[in-house]
Amino acid sequence: MTNPLPDALATWAEAARVRSLNAHGVRPAARYVLCWLQQALRARDNPVIDAAICLANDLGLPVLVYHGLREDYPYASDRLHRFILGASRDLSLECRQRGVACIQYVDRAEKREKGLVYRLAAESAAVLVEDQPTFVARWQSERFAARTDRAVLAVNAACLVPPAILGDDIGSTTAFRRRHEPLRADWLTASDLMAELAPYDGPLPFVPDRLDTSTDADIDRLVAAAAIDHSLPPSPMFPLGRGGALEKLERLMDTVLPTYAAVRNDATNPVGASTLSPYLHFGVVGPREIMATVEAAAAPAGAKDKFADELLTWREWFHYQASALVEPERYDRISGWARETLEAHAADPRPELETLDALLHGETRDESWNACQRQFLVDGWMHNNLRMYWGKRIIAMTPDPQTAWATACYLNDRLSLDGRDPSTYGNIAASFGGGSPGREGPAVYGKVPTRSDGSTRHRPDGPAWLEAAATRPRPEVAVPADLPVDLYLEGRAPA
Ligand SMILES: Cc1cc2nc3c(=O)[nH]c(=O)nc-3n(C[C@H](O)[C@H](O)[C@H](O)COP(=O)(O)OP(=O)(O)OC[C@H]3O[C@@H](n4cnc5c(N)ncnc54)[C@H](O)[C@@H]3O)c2cc1C
């Protein structure tokens, strides 16, 4: 059972983004309203912070923003940790500029305390969390809401149009686009509410970290001191924090957008894609700010429309789908016809089987697949046009469809900065059989349409590009004894 929204939020202009996660009421006799962020790591244009300010102003309380980083989330590595901490550093810096207190806690050898969000919640009127439909942020928020005695309110900060106002009956991207497009204009302006009270400066139940004055070297020290996977290095392609996101936005406006419609499918073209997805995944930038950049760019209308369709139709469609699923990461989300045909072919001869080591390191017998995988391994990102080929080929390289699903999700989630996202599982499900069945095809795939590497290989410089991409210097990463199949076959990770 859940509660109705408190009046201040029920009448807020962005109320459609908010829902109660438990049945507890707001307790006005408190020190602050707690805003617990996990993935929406930006201080401005952040509806979770805005909702917290809206409620806090009504109660005459300050807001306290909290971001904690544990060592035991799945796939914690130097790559993910460094990117997250860079975003968190700028979150606290910009919270301070916005007049809101922000504290952090980073687990590491000399400092490991548990239950911090519960301790902070004990002094709060209510806790605002983000409404994320996949992976750790969802699992933690739901578990916390079930265990705490405080009101927990979840706010959608990831989408331009809150999925809740779209209804629950949309079954295709065409229908989604039709319903979503007319609503967009209403959601293009950020609330950016102002806190009426001074930043919270009272007692805290633990000694926090304050990252706002951290240098990149300080962040590197925190990463080095954490018990995480140190074999996967940070990506040089994605500068940290808001500075990194703003650099990508400027590049989008000046270089990418003008030719986007024409070159976005060319993986060999270095300006074909915005490379914004890691910043979007970790909320360093939101769709509103990106759309404002698109509007301001001197680019053809067709290019702007194409980009908006990727960002607003495709991305938000996968968020909408994931919001409707209890466990969007699971194999059984693949369409029924695709599971049926793939399972009917599970016993087919599989001459292209590869080891997990060869797959992880991009050292299979398929040069084109290796070129794709090296982007994940080295850059922590992959070009859109390569991803469908990459996903479909895994079906032939693994022993059965369930292992194929778990392998694709594992590689994407562990290596890519934008992994663990609604777009991860939605797109992998689409490459394993979105749309309608094709004609019975080659062994292993059944009615699942295959895809060739032609869109890259058949370009004039395609073969040379593929060869260079497939042999890029790469890190030697730790190879697990067993693939973590439970997460993708049985359901969410343990508490
Ligand atoms: C098998 C497979 C796995 C994928 N895994 C992920 C993933 O883990 N995380 C992720 O964010 N995207 C994923 N995608 C979607 C897409 O490939 C990436 O969003 C895109 O390549 C990111 O690069 P970009 O920011 O330069 O994209 P751009 O071409 O610059 O597009 C701008 C934005 O539009 C959105 N977008 C573009 N294409 C898609 C799409 N097909 N689906 C949903 N949103 C889209 C993204 O938010 C992207 O950042 C996957 C696609 C496939 C086929």
pLDDT of residue 27: 97
Sheet holding 18-20, edge to edge: 18-20, 152-155, 124-130, 32-36, 63-69, 101-106
Which residue's CA lies nearest to atom 24 of ligand 1?
275
Instruction: Determine the 3-state secondary structure of 35 from DSSP.
Output: strand
Residues 275 and 286 in one domain: yes
Which residue's CA lies nearest to atom 12 of ligand 1?
423
Residues 165 and 304 in one domain: yes
**Angle, helix 216-225 to helix 78-98, in steps of 10 degrees:** 130
Nearest to 354 by CA among 393, 382, 302: 393
**Atom nearest to 318 CA in ligand 1:** 43
Residues 250 and 381 in one domain: no
148 domain residue, yes or no:
yes
Cα–ligand 1 centroid distance for 427 (angstroms): 8
pLDDT of residue 107: 95
Cα–ligand 1 centroid distance for 372 (angstroms): 14
pLDDT of residue 2: 74
200 domain residue, yes or no:
no
Residues 460 and 335 in one domain: yes
Residues 479 and 363 in one domain: yes
Residues 338 and 484 in one domain: yes
Which residue's CA lies nearest to atom 48 of ligand 1?
277
Residues 250 and 348 in one domain: no
- The angle at the Cα of 138, spanning 143 to 57, to the nearest 5 degrees, equals 85
* Binding site membership of 314 for ligand 1 (Cβ less than 6 Å): yes
Specify the CATH number for the domain of residue 6: 3.40.50.620
Q: Which helix (H) or strand (E) holds 306?
A: helix 301-308
Cα–ligand 1 centroid distance for 423 (angstroms): 7
**Domain residues for 174?**
160-194+242-324
Give CA–CA dist 28/388, Å, rounded: 51
* Binding site membership of 273 for ligand 1 (Cβ less than 6 Å): yes
- Which pair of tokens denotes residue 96? 């301070």
- With the most atoms of ligand 1 within 8 angstroms of its CB, the residue from 176, 247, 249, 427 to mutate is 427
Give CA–CA dist 68/85, Å, rounded: 10
* Binding site membership of 268 for ligand 1 (Cβ less than 6 Å): no
* Binding site membership of 214 for ligand 1 (Cβ less than 6 Å): no
Domain boundary (301, 324, 347) is at 324
pLDDT of residue 493: 57
Which residue's CA lies nearest to atom 40 of ligand 1?
314
pLDDT of residue 65: 98
Domain boundary (278, 305, 324) is at 324
**Atom nearest to 412 CA in ligand 1:** 8
* Binding site membership of 431 for ligand 1 (Cβ less than 6 Å): yes
Which residue's CA lies nearest to atom 35 of ligand 1?
311
- With the most atoms of ligand 1 within 8 angstroms of its CB, the residue from 334, 384, 385, 394 to mutate is 384
- With the most atoms of ligand 1 within 8 angstroms of its CB, the residue from 392, 423, 424, 431 to mutate is 423
Cα–ligand 1 centroid distance for 305 (angstroms): 16
432 domain residue, yes or no:
yes
Cα–ligand 1 centroid distance for 208 (angstroms): 35
Domain boundary (308, 324, 340) is at 324
Residues 381 and 303 in one domain: no
One-letter amino acid of 185: A
Residues 175 and 254 in one domain: yes
Residues 26 and 9 in one domain: yes
238 neighbors 244 (Cβ within 8 angstroms): yes
pLDDT of residue 441: 82
* Binding site membership of 134 for ligand 1 (Cβ less than 6 Å): no
315 domain residue, yes or no:
yes
371 domain residue, yes or no:
yes
**Atom nearest to 390 CA in ligand 1:** 1
Domain count for the chain, please give it. 3
Give CA–CA dist 46/406, Å, rounded: 33
Residues 11 and 153 in one domain: yes
* Binding site membership of 419 for ligand 1 (Cβ less than 6 Å): yes
223 domain residue, yes or no:
no
Give CA–CA dist 145/423, Å, rounded: 25
Which residue's CA lies nearest to atom 4 of ligand 1?
424
**Atom nearest to 418 CA in ligand 1:** 9
* Binding site membership of 315 for ligand 1 (Cβ less than 6 Å): yes
Give CA–CA dist 379/417, Å, rounded: 9
206 domain residue, yes or no:
no
Cα–ligand 1 centroid distance for 130 (angstroms): 21
219 domain residue, yes or no:
no
* Binding site membership of 14 for ligand 1 (Cβ less than 6 Å): no
41 neighbors 158 (Cβ within 8 angstroms): no
Ranges of the chain with pLDDT below 70: 1, 492-495
254 neighbors 59 (Cβ within 8 angstroms): no
Residues 16 and 133 in one domain: yes
